[in-house]
Structure 1
Amino acid sequence: MLAAWRLSQWYVYGRQSFTKAGFEHAAKSFNPADCDVDLSSRHFIITGATSGLGLSCAQVLARKGGTIHLVCRNKDKGEKTLDQLKADTNNQDIHLHVVDLSEIGAVRRFCSSFQLPLHGLINNAGIMVHTRTLTQDGHDVNFVTNVLSPFLMTVELLPNLRRSGDGRVIFVSSGGMYAQELKPDDLEDKKLTKYDGTWVYAHNKRAQVCLAELLAEKVSPAQDSPVTFYSMHPGWADTPGVRLSMPSFFDQHKGILRTAEQGADTIVWLAIAPSLTGPEQRSKYNGKFSLDRHVVSQHLFGAQTQPSDDDLAKLWEYVCKKANIPPDFYKNKT
């Protein structure tokens, strides 16, 4: 019964706020100056940047003069995207990094090789595999790609983010997380009697939101860090990922879906808006969950999805252990 309640609440909220109409209504209050920024000499890493939200982010940031680092798994697709972006944006400072986010070792090697100051890390890449698939390390591939690798990349690139003076990390979550509670004793969904990729994806996205909050609570104060951590919901957007992974949902809602650019708007805003600097604004947004440039609740009324402190502690311990990171790494200021 509770699961059905969550889904019904999610759908009602979604029809009101996650659609193209929801974005257009919210956009009436946007401040255009927030994204009217010259990004020359700023570096941004975008995972999953060959299509959908990631590609839209890359296009916008490149047109503003940013140096863009595309992280993708498929070399051929990445090279085509790279060439097209350079031609479309007249920006030659766009670089391709081929990294399979389902391989922890590959993620770690990439982070070790990246020596530049980093102004924005956009953890956008995501997958929704509908059958249980294990990585070479024996982990669920959805969990590694959607949760563990973004966390590892964030931690490994903290020195680069600090060097920029205003490093920002954005976890691109999903409205599906509203229908899921965090299950700290089964983060890789091994106890599911029938594997459901949509369910697992939503659980992964709930974990992402929790990790953004935990990173803000632990890293920012401990290191007096200029790095901020955000999670966000792009709304229901028409992307290749939605068409491929959720064909029924797409067919039923294609007339009301946002464009990829509309879905990417809050990602870009979180990555570059000058209005997010300063102690007051950092406090307001750091670790929080945003939709359409506003902080919104991470939970629906009556859904009972709030994690306990113990739940969050278990999540932190698990991802640190699986990523081979000391749980108190943030206490080291070097």
Structure 2
Amino acid sequence: MSLITTPFDRHSTAADVITDIDLTHRRAIVTGASSGISVETARALVSAGADVTLAVRSLEAGVRVANDLIATTGNARVRVAHLDLSEPASVAAFVSAWTGPLHLLINNAGIMATPEQHTPQGWELQFATNHLGHFALATGLHRALVAASGARIVSLSSAGHTRSPVVFGDIHFHHRPYDPFLAYGQSKTANVLFAVEASRRWAEQGITANAVMPGAVRTEGVANLNLTATQIAHAQATRSSGPETFWKTPAQGAATSILVATSPLLSGVGGRYFEDSQEAGPHVPGTMRGVAGYALDPAQAERLWEVSETLLARATSPSD
């Protein structure tokens, strides 16, 4: 199976990718759309005529973004809804409030390299937020995605996925020493595995899912790390045989998501991993490029799906 290539590259912006694409009458959800890449992802979708819901933890921040998008694009079809991916009840409330079809689900929200924290359910916070919350959202909106007849899901991963597979024996770091970057990498591997299994299960219903690596972007999340941007760039450069890390603007970081969500080149394509607006090849050890084989492993993807269903079922079942 040959890799998908496009006319775009790491310098392309979301606006470049979405040129000449009309999303009128298409409905989209962008999670975490209050800053950084997600705002530019939403901006591109709104500019192409889509009806976009910004799913955010802070309604105040979401309203500010919505007002900006409306003012800069002229499209008033922008909504704001509360969503905290680390809280199953919040995800359930969001899902229950949704009506009608959903054409595009952009699972952008996430946290990175946080200090060790666990949710009330005992879940490691990065895995809970980056994977389980989005898993619950996508499965909860399954009927809406089916109703769209050709829905696409974009699952934001990271080159950090090459740091760790999903460690099924101790996903939540109950027994092994906690490492914030290993926990982050595990959650980003889960994002790819989700795309693999969602496409396998749902392709016949017209739903495809792909994972993307946006690139190194100086977002608020990166700025809030204990590491400085210079230290992060050094860490990435030391793992790469190529030149110094290429830092993208948020608009460039959003380009691959927009490509996967809207390009005719990806019609019917699912279960793949993209970076710099191209399908990525296998990961080469010692670099930060490409996709790890374990992240595309169908057996691991099916196992993660089943584990995720079990965890969520326990979380939402009445207590004894």
TM-score, normalization: structure 2? Answer: 0.83
User: Cα deviations across residues 40-94 of structure 1 (Å, max 9, x unaligned)?
Assistant: 1111100010111100101111111111100000122122222222212221100
1:110 aligns with 2:94: yes
Q: Judge conservation of contact 1:233–1:291 (CA < 8 Å) in 2.
A: yes
**Paired residue for 2:10?**
23
1:219 aligns with 2:202: yes
CA pair 87-246 structure 1, distance change in 2 beyond 3 A? farther
Question: How many angstroms does 1:199 deviate by?
Answer: 2.1
Cα distance in 1 for partners of 2:299, 2:257 equals 30
1:66 aligns with 2:50: yes
Q: Which runs of 4+ in 1 moved over 6 A?
A: none
**Paired residue for 2:213?**
233
Question: How many angstroms does 1:188 deviate by?
Answer: 2.0
Q: Judge conservation of contact 1:228–1:286 (CA < 8 Å) in 2.
A: yes
Could you tell which deviates more after superposition, 84-93 or 98-107? 84-93
1:258 aligns with 2:248: yes
Q: Judge conservation of contact 1:44–1:118 (CA < 8 Å) in 2.
A: yes
Give runs of aligned pairs for residues 25-174 of structure 1, distance below 5 A. Answer: 27=12, 35-128=19-112, 130-174=114-158
State the AA in 2 paired with 1:128: M
Cα distance in 2 for partners of 1:128, 1:150 equals 15
Cα distance in 2 for partners of 1:116, 1:41 equals 12
Q: Judge conservation of contact 2:197–2:298 (CA < 8 Å) in 1.
A: no
Q: Which runs of 5+ in 1 are unaligned?
A: 1-21, 326-334
Structure 1 residue matching 2:38: 3-state secondary structure: helix
**Paired residue for 1:186?**
170
State the AA in 2 paired with 1:214: E
Cα distance in 1 for partners of 2:175, 2:114 equals 15
RMSD: 2.7
Q: Judge conservation of contact 2:17–2:255 (CA < 8 Å) in 1.
A: no
State the AA in 1 paired with 2:218: D
Higher helix proportion: 1
How many aligned residue pairs are there?
A: 291
Could you tell which deviates more after superposition, 62-71 or 235-244? 235-244
Structure 2 residue matching 1:242: 3-state secondary structure: helix
TM-score, normalization: structure 1? Answer: 0.79
Could you tell which deviates more after superposition, 259-268 or 299-308? 299-308
CA pair 242-103 structure 1, distance change in 2 beyond 3 A? same
1:206 aligns with 2:189: yes
Cα distance in 2 for partners of 1:250, 1:71 equals 31
Cα distance in 1 for partners of 2:230, 2:157 equals 18
Cα distance in 2 for partners of 1:77, 1:61 equals 19
Question: How many angstroms does 1:310 deviate by?
Answer: 5.3
Give runs of aligned pairs for residues 319-334 of structure 1, distance below 5 A. Answer: 319-324=308-313
Q: Judge conservation of contact 1:62–1:89 (CA < 8 Å) in 2.
A: yes
**Paired residue for 2:3?**
none
Cα distance in 2 for partners of 1:127, 1:243 equals 12
User: Cα deviations across residues 169-196 of structure 1 (Å, max 9, x unaligned)?
Assistant: 0001111112222212222232332x22
Cα distance in 1 for partners of 2:304, 2:271 equals 16
CA pair 118-214 structure 1, distance change in 2 beyond 3 A? same
1:269 aligns with 2:255: no
Cα distance in 1 for partners of 2:205, 2:278 equals 23
Q: Which runs of 5+ in 2 are unaligned?
A: 1-8, 235-244, 315-320
CA pair 68-119 structure 1, distance change in 2 beyond 3 A? same
State the AA in 2 paired with 1:276: L
